[in-house]
Structure 1
Amino acid sequence: MSLCLTELFLPKTFAKSFRFVPLTTGICAFLLALFLFRANRVPPFNFQILYWMGVSTACVIWIRPMFLKQRNKVIKDATEARTITEITPAQTGEVLYEGSVWQASCDDHIEAIPPNQKVYVLRREGNTLIVVPKKIFQ
């Protein structure tokens, strides 16, 4: 129980690679305790610790990453941005979006978008915005 409760008191700025480790190991300890309680023959304490370490390691490696998967952030509506540099079909450029400069890639891989043009932001993939020229919609 104490391992599960430690997850509540860890700061949100705690390294993402260590997130949910105390919770996962606490749940594994609880499940293993239930399993061993129901068993007819309880192993010695040393083996109980060994079993818990094995199950916890397996869960941290294989199950915990499912909770940490990042999804592409979808921007609610297509919003406007303005290109700062040229965005060529194979390269990324820069756009001014909501007062900040972002890397941008064109969803239309046929033509380049010149600088100082209005574009629509379709979605965000990591730190790169996916944009299309405004003239496509006109």
Structure 2
Amino acid sequence: MTPTVVWFMVGAGLCLVEFVLPTAFIAFVLGVSALLVAIVAHLLPLGAQVGLWVILSIVLILFSRRFVNRRAAFKLDATEAETLTEIRPGEMGRVCYEGNSWAARCESSNLDIPAGRRVYVVGRRGTTLIVMPEEF
């Protein structure tokens, strides 16, 4: 297999990965860089091809950030969650929020929330959700 074919397959594969597993546009940009390297692969030695791919990838990632719509870092559209583990007063537990398991802490430092209870997401601190029980 020639380097051109390899770069083309890598580029196409990375672009397809973006559609299957969204990676915030990174895999797509890496794939486009590989496709561009495939065009000139027959003119450059392997080390230069890899170097060109790295440089193109960095430049395209930085350049594409200006044009990609920035999503909110965190949406609170779905404000309900369900506790997966007990959340004891002042301690952390786990909740299922939007189909994912999140670390969570109760906003009130004196409430105990049992597992399986519906809670409201009232905020976030880093990667920890702040919750309150549905009934308290």
Of structures 1 and 2, the larger Rg is shown by 1
Q: Normalising by structure 2, what TM-score?
A: 0.45
Structure with more contact order per residue of length (Cα contacts < 8 Å, sep ≥ 6): 1
Q: Normalising by structure 1, what TM-score?
A: 0.45
